[in-house]
Amino acid sequence: MVAGSLAVTVALNGLTLAALYFIVASGFSLIFGLMRTVNMAHGSLYLIGAYAGYAVFEPLYDRDVWWAWYAGVGAGIAAAAVFGLAMQAALLGWMQGQELRQALVTIGVSIVAADQLLAVFGGNSRQFFPPDALFGATELPGAGRYPTFRLFQIAVAVAVGLGLWLLLNRTKLGLMVRAGVDDRPMLTALGINVPLVSLAVFALGAGLAGLGGVIGGSAQPFSQGVDVRFLLTSLVVVIVGGMGSIAGTAVGALLVGMAEQVGQALFPTYSVILTFVIMAAVLALRPQGILGRPA
């Protein structure tokens, strides 16, 4: 009985972790899908979202305003989106097509961003306190009491996935994005302002990283260094799931999140290896990722 409830808890932990990974990695995947830009600063965007959100959240929380957390979420998304927009507009847009150079530029940006965040916010770890409605624990059949916020995390991920699906499949912007993924020069020739679409997609992808930053920062404390963790996770998730595919990102996030939690439960200090065994196996059998299309 105890073992059974432990298994359910591990599975739930894996699921909630996968939800967070999906939120962050879907932004990475979206940007890669349209622009072939490997955004090595995606972890920095996560951290920028978390810190900017915290800067707004903290004074409001001290004044005991009920919407403090929601304002933090908004600020985190906005800050990351604006930073991403600026990056695409100032640095990446004019070197479209030079993939390696773009990756190097984003590495440079991530070095500077991490150092400046350290200068401004210091090395202490911080954590958001979610509003009362999401705080505390919920009684779940089979698992006992489980943190409500983690369940909320799953709901957010599902909402993000549905939202992205609707955006890509039911709107004009989504149509343009999908066309751009397939044949960018043709889309340009049809008179679509592709640089503008790129800016919108970059802002959206960056905003998702910012959202992930606040959500992740509410579930667990965050500090300098988590940018590396979430860059790595985004990389592994999209490599496993398939680059530029939202459904693939979901599959990759589920696999990686589950593997991490199950690994930690079974063999704690070797759990990282499990993630990389999965990655190596996928690469060996399907280099384009589980749901990726051949390049």
Partner 1 sequence: MSGGRPSPAALASVALLAALALLPLLIPPFWTANIFGRAFVYGIVAMSLTFLATYGGFVSLAQTMMGGVAGYVAAVLVPDSVPSLVGGVPYAAAIPVALLAATASGLLVGAVAVRTQGIYLLMITLALAVGFHLFAQANIAWFNGYEGIRNVVGPEVFGLPFRNTFVFYYAALGSAALLYALVLYVVRTPFGLVLQGIRDNPRRVSALGYDAALHRIAAFGLAGFIAGCGGLLVTFYNIGISPGSIGLGPTVNVLVMCVIGGLGHPIGAFVGALVFTLFDTFAADIYDRDRFNTLVGAVFLLIVLVSPDGVLGLAKRAVAPLRGRRRVGPAAGAAPNTGAPLAAEE
The DSSP call for residue 94 is G
The closest alpha carbon to 85, from 199, 193, 207, belongs to 199
104 lies in the binding site for partner 1 (CB under 8 A)? yes
**Alpha-carbon distance 237 to 242, whole Å?**
8
109 lies in the binding site for partner 1 (CB under 8 A)? yes
H/E stretch holding 242: none
The closest alpha carbon to 176, from 37, 55, 33, belongs to 33
**Alpha-carbon distance 55 to 5, whole Å?**
39
The closest alpha carbon to 27, from 49, 54, 57, belongs to 49
Q: Are 153 and 214 in contact (CB under 8 A)?
A: no
Both tokens of 63, joined, read 């004044």
Strands 137-140 and 144-147: antiparallel
Q: Identify which of residues 39 and 218 has a Cβ nearer to partner 1 in the complex.
A: 39
41 lies in the binding site for partner 1 (CB under 8 A)? no
The binding track of 266-285 with respect to partner 1, each residue x by CB under 8 A or -, is --xxxxxx-xx--xx--xx-
CB burial of residue 245 (10 Å; 0-12, 13-18, 19+): buried
Q: Identify which of residues 40 and 176 has a Cβ nearer to partner 1 in the complex.
A: 40
215 lies in the binding site for partner 1 (CB under 8 A)? no
Among 52, 73, 114, 177, binds partner 1 (CB under 8 A): 114
101 lies in the binding site for partner 1 (CB under 8 A)? yes
Q: Identify which of residues 20 and 279 has a Cβ nearer to partner 1 in the complex.
A: 279
Options 15-23, 171-179, 181-189, 264-272: segment touching partner 1 (CB under 8 A): 264-272
The binding track of 174-213 with respect to partner 1, each residue x by CB under 8 A or -, is ----------------------------------------
Among 108, 122, 142, 163, binds partner 1 (CB under 8 A): 108
Dihedral sign for Cα atoms in the order 164, 169, 174, 180: positive
Options 14-22, 51-59, 62-70, 96-104: segment touching partner 1 (CB under 8 A): 96-104
294 lies in the binding site for partner 1 (CB under 8 A)? no
- Least distance to partner 1, CB of residue 256, Å: 11
Q: Identify which of residues 73 and 251 has a Cβ nearer to partner 1 in the complex.
A: 251
For the chain, the C-alpha Rg in angstroms (whole number) is 19
Q: Which residues in this chain contact partner 1 in the complex, by CB under 8 A?
A: 36, 38, 40, 91, 99-101, 103-105, 107-112, 114-116, 119, 228, 231-232, 235-236, 239, 243, 268-273, 275-276, 279-280, 283-284, 287
